[in-house]
Chain A
């Protein structure tokens, strides 16, 4: 009999994992223990081994698909065996690799023929008190997210047995692990009718207690660790953005002479990476490790903070100081998109030596970014405001952009940090000239 391979359930709060890479193709022979595909959860990459040897008969999800856990991903078996019974029902945000016109009913190979479409397909009224269920049914319910409380038992003396749980899954009466606490026995908006966290809260409850998703918990841990260990303080200044705005206009007009839709942020990344690469600023392009060790990097690997639906992600633009502006611009956009799609690879989410966090788009005028330890500094980019300055005995208005540099005073003192910040100001105010010097 063919064997389905599921997206594993890697943690109670994990609802989906991103299938990042297939190492085997449909039709290929696989040996037990060989890696079938890679997938990732918030920040870890995992590998799925083939549980049995055989032919990879079918692949239900392509690369970069977001696959609900405990959903069949592929099927291994002998040439010619049917895979339809394992095909996940439609739903979810990923399309199957090969489309099948109709959704096949989930076959239940345990249920006796006479019992198909019996009352087990309907949800039970809420079971009160002790719930009689077989150990096998309990284990399956936990795995699939079926609430035994809302499941009718068709075993001897009303015991809930395996087939009852399978019937509940087939009719979409199950929930994701994260939403289990709030599950009310109905169907939800998830794959195959699964009740997920997004279904929570549709009621009129005064409040809801929700377990934080893993990504949230990871951020929480990272942020408090940063504030607890690093001696951070923030210097803020603003620079005259006239030049970069002019360059931006030229980009829009197509007269800038540089490929791509270069944004203000791209220009800042470009300048920061160049200035940071100078030996005198190496303490800011570094990691402060345990045991009082400073690790200085020969390249600038720029962390670019990206706000996503799930939370803050910081993909890394490697060797930013060596890349031309157009490349930086292109890669920064690609990385951000990947993060927002949940498709960023774990390797792309680590390895940064310095971080730039741009809140300008939200009208933030000043903030104190938190260092992504063990990095030693982070640059916050603020919104553009109109300012006035005395010039030639008169006053003129100009567009100013704020920069907030948070640095770890353990790694670097106020003087050098300030010098770095003012060099940034200087360079950005003369961006066009600087770009010419750099790229010709």
Chain B
């Protein structure tokens, strides 16, 4: 909402029509004779060889799946096989134009795109570059195999093709020599040195991520474009629309500074094979008639075209034209490549949704038949030469299969020897203060910045010299702690960008970013569309491409709007790449308190449940700054929870207040906020403060001395301090603002019971929010843990308090009743 853009009412009501741009369909109309002037014989033969290589690779998988053998060797492959038999020309045409700096993203069905892109990169890289890649990747282990068994006769490029097919087979067969040591598999194969980014098994899942990589290229002035491959089925997916919307933002041209203007360098490439699994997109499950129509979401029409994807030259032609537009800053683009798969959706597909006649008619146009015939007819090569070429490709595939399926050559990962293998790649746990060494781009110095100036006047402790609480307005608070950590990082790491809903101008809905608008150019801080999938998904892409990013979801409740991106993408790519990718991405989510049921949920438990995310919840200014600094110095995906209840809370625990310089609070270490000997209270989030009040009351009125521990982090979590405390007190109450059922507190209680069973004087007790919808703030005392609830729980489940009457029932009967009713 920049003030520079005036929203004038008059024109909004003028009578007019909106004209959509015409969408070219099968615009390519050249003949093979025309193309002979453009391409060399080697080009033509290379195209055919690559198409044949894909066909053989897919045939191999089909044979293994259907017959349990290939090349006369019995072999079982239990993994997925979404084959692209029939879609070879589409992939080869796409890859032909792409350089090594151009990146592709694929889908569950992307063996063809991956092989085509790899073979294209191999053609474009020098022999020395290829040798270097092969020697360095996986410590050269795969290369050793290839060197021993190659039949390339000194042809480094052929050796590289063998190398790639071998590594791809290994990845599919879950072998330790797979490109991601088998942790990715068929649907997630990728190889960064050849510009192949992770394929995604979630339909349309790659679109937001690819958008983030394009954003990375743009914000960091990196060469190349990004291709987000998707099927026609993905055209229905919300995240795909969100991603394209994000990539088409007006601000790229209208607001971003010179040098950064222009749309994102990305092509959304829909391979339209007419079926989304079995659902026929045209005629049954969609209403667009042609995928290319989706370009209408942008005033540019995204330069959309519908292209004959079975004609490799038509694909190349379309790509060349789209690239030209993108390089002029007119991206993004959308292509619909018409293609057809002869194979089923997967090998378990009986093709019950289409007729034999339909498949047979398409087979008459099979590029693997038509293309070599064209080449022979045009006199580019004889049929014998082409057959020999095909034979060589088949032979290579067979030999690489033999190696990859041989346990002596390519063993499985030895989990007996390395039981912690996957554990070791769940987090990268690196500390990299800046992701690039170039100077940072800022509009002001820190000294010139109003927010820094304002903070300088605040007391860095909540207490004055007289030991009394200072007025809130005079105190450095949690907002300031977050700001300082983030702003300091902006002045250190040139790759750091941040975006989300209303982060610029407004300064974030809760004013954490106030002051950053003035300090930063648009490309480092901008408002995103209200598109949580795109916000999180693109940040995943930005991070795995090599940048550092913070995005904000205004309310924690919106996490589920980006459910796939948070839980399947952000959480998983470090491990699915066997540690080859890092994810320096901090996702800020704010937990509300007074906007009702969809704006006030603490979902730390959801984030803690899915392996791969670090989860922090600072509730003091010292921790806000220290944990955020630790998250920003790290290379792991961190979800940072913030509570709207306490943004204005001053520092009450750290003597001397919040330090001005940079420091880290170790993620995973809880803090003891109050010492005591009779009861331990462990809190997550702002519940710390009522817990402290309850501790005071227990001490004063009942002589029970409570130790209060603030978890600070949820994942990872070091139990040592808590166990030490419980061994002393014998009693523990765990509390947070999350609904009690399924709360991570239950998991912690269970672990504490395991670790300190013989020391327990009562079962651990959970005090959480009610298992209800959140009512209006007028009733928040009925919903969130209150001071009395702590006393009630202690009285009824831990140790009866003399003369105390509980206000809320924590009895067995009540517990059973509520569980039975599902509340």
A positions within 8 Å CB-CB of B = 1, 109-110, 112-115, 134-139, 154-157, 159, 161-163
Size category of the B interface is 20 to 34
Does chain A have a CB within 8 A of B664?
no
- Report the separation of the CA atoms of residues A158 and B310 in the bound assembly, to the nearest whole angstrom: 80
Q: Report A308 CB to chain B, min CB distance, Å.
A: 38
Complex Cα spacing A107 to B706, Å: 18
Identify which of residues 759-778 in chain B touch chain A, using a CB-to-CB cut-off of 8 Å: 759-762
Contact present for A139 and B759 (CB under 8 Å): yes
Q: Does residue B201 face the partner (Cβ distance < 8 Å to A)?
A: no
* B799-A112 in contact (CB<8A): yes
Are A136's CB and B703's CB within 8 A?
A: no
Among residues 717 to 762 in chain B, which have CB atoms less than 8 Å away from a CB atom of chain A?
Answer: 730, 757-762
Min Cβ gap B717→A in Å is 23
**B759 A113 Cβ-Cβ under 8 A:** no
Is B800's beta carbon under 8 Å from chain A?
yes
A339 to B730, CA, bound (A): 43
Pairwise interchain contact B702-A113, C-beta atoms closer than 8 A? yes
Q: Is the pair B797, A136 in contact by a Cβ cutoff of 8 Å? A: no
A109-B677, A156-B798 known; A114 and B803 CB under 8 Å?
Answer: yes
Given the contacts A114-B702, A114-B802, A136 and B796 also touching, CB distance less than 8 Å: no
Inter-chain contacts of A159 with B (CB < 8 A): 762
State whether A156 and B760 are in contact (beta carbons under 8 Å apart), knowing that A112-B703, A134-B730, A136-B730 are contacts in the complex: no
What is the CA–CA distance of A426 and B796 in the complex, to the nearest angstrom?
A: 86
Q: Which residues of chain A are within 8 angstroms of B760 by Cβ–Cβ distance? A: 134-136
Binding site for A on B (CB under 8 A): 677-678, 702-704, 730, 757-762, 796-803, 812
A139 contact from B677, B704, B758, Cβ within 8 A: B758
B434 CB to closest chain A CB (Å) equals 44
Chain A positions within 8 Å of B812 at CB level: 157
**Which residues of A lie under 8 Å from residue B803 when comparing CB positions?**
114
Q: Which of A112, A137, A162 contacts B702 (CB 8 A)?
A: A112
- What residues on B are CB-neighbors of A134 within 8 Å? 730, 760-762
| Smallest CB separation, A28 vs chain B (Å) | 27
Smallest CB-CB A-B distances: 8 pairs = A114-B802, A136-B761, A113-B703, A136-B730, A134-B761, A162-B761, A135-B758, A161-B761
At the interface, is chain B mostly helix, strand, loop or mixed?
A: loop
Instruction: Collect the chain B residues with CB atoms within 8 Å of residue A135's CB.
Output: 757-761
Once the chains are docked, how many angstroms separate the CA of A115 from the CA of B759? 22
A-chain residues with CB within 8 Å of residue B797 when the two chains form the complex: 156
Contacting pair B799 A155 (CB below 8 A):
yes
A155 to B799, CA, bound (A): 5
Give chain A residues whose Cβ lies under 8 Å from the Cβ of B758.
135-136, 138-139
Q: How far is the CA of A114 from the CA of B799 in the complex (A)?
A: 12
Q: How far is the CB of A285 from the nearest CB of chain B, in Å? A: 53
User: Are A156 and B757 also in contact (CB < 8 A) when A112-B704, A136-B730 are?
Assistant: no
19 residue pairs from A and B, CB less than 8 Å apart: A110-B730, A112-B802, A113-B703, A114-B702, A115-B802, A134-B761, A134-B762, A135-B758, A135-B759, A135-B761, A136-B730, A136-B758, A139-B759, A155-B798, A156-B762, A156-B796, A157-B812, A162-B761, A163-B799
Q: How far is the CB of A121 from chain B (nearest CB, A)?
A: 14
Which B residues are CB-close (under 8 A) to A114? 702-703, 801-803
B759, A136: Cβ atoms under 8 Å?
yes
With CB as the reference atom, state the residue of chain B lying closest to A165: B761
Q: Which residues of A contact B798 (CB under 8 A)?
A: 155-156
How far in angstroms is the closest Cβ of chain B from A78?
15
A134 to B731, CA, bound (A): 10
Interface contact A162-B802, CB-CB below 8 Å? no
Measured CB to CB, the nearest residue on chain B to A164 is B761
Give the residue of B703, B704, B800 whose beta carbon is less than 8 angstroms from that of A155: B800
CA distance A181 to B797 in the complex (A): 32
Residues of chain B within 8 A of A138, CB atoms compared: 758
Complex interface: chain A residues within 8 A of B730 (CB): 110, 134, 136, 162
Complex Cα distance, B757 from A139, in Å, reads 10
Chain A residues positioned under 8 Å from B796 (CB to CB): 156
Task: For residue B808, give the distance in angstroms from its CB to the closest CB of chain A.
Answer: 15
Q: How far is the CA of A110 from the CA of B729 in the complex (A)?
A: 8
Closest to A111 in B: B703
User: Max chain A CB contacts within 10 Å: which of B730, B797, B801, B812?
Assistant: B730
Contacts A109-B678, A155-B762 aside, 17 further interface pairs with beta carbons under 8 A come to A1-B677, A110-B677, A113-B802, A114-B801, A114-B803, A134-B760, A134-B761, A135-B761, A139-B758, A139-B759, A155-B799, A156-B762, A156-B800, A159-B762, A161-B762, A162-B730, A162-B761
Q: Which residues of B are found within 8 Å of A162, using beta-carbon distances?
A: 730, 761
Taking CB atoms, residues of chain A closer than 8 Å to B761 are 134-137, 155, 161-162
Report the minimal beta-carbon distance from A267 to chain B, rounded to whole angstroms: 60
Complex Cα distance, B702 from A138, in Å, reads: 25
Least CB distance from A421 to B in Å reads 61
Chain A contacts for B703, CB-based, 8 A? 112-114
Q: Which residues of chain A have C-beta atoms less than 8 A from B702's C-beta? A: 112-114
Q: Distance in Å from the Cβ of A424 to the closest Cβ of chain B?
A: 61
> Chain A residue with minimal CB distance to B804?
A114
Report the minimal beta-carbon distance from B216 to chain A, rounded to whole angstroms. 54
Q: How far is the CA of A156 from the CA of B792 in the complex (A)?
A: 12
Most B CB within 10 A of own CB, among A115, A137, A156, A161 = A156
Shortest CB distance A3–B (Å): 12
CA distance A137 to B802 in the complex (A): 20
Looking at the assembled complex, report how far the CB atom of B726 sits from the nearest CB atom of chain A, in whole angstroms.
10
Closest to B795 in A: A156
B728 to chain A: closest residue by CB:
A1
Q: In the complex, which of the residues A110, A115, A154 has the most CB atoms of chain B within 10 Å of its own CB atom?
A: A110
Which residue of the partner chain A has the closest CB to B812?
A157
Q: Roughly how many angstroms separate A157 CA and B730 CA in the complex, as a whole number?
A: 18
A155 and B678 CA atoms in complex are apart in Å by: 14
Question: A154 near B800 (CB under 8 angstroms)?
Answer: yes
A112→B757 CA distance, assembly (Å): 23
Find out whether the CB atom of B762 lies under 8 angstroms from the CB atom of A112: no
Which chain A residues border B799 with CB–CB below 8 Å?
112, 155-156, 161, 163
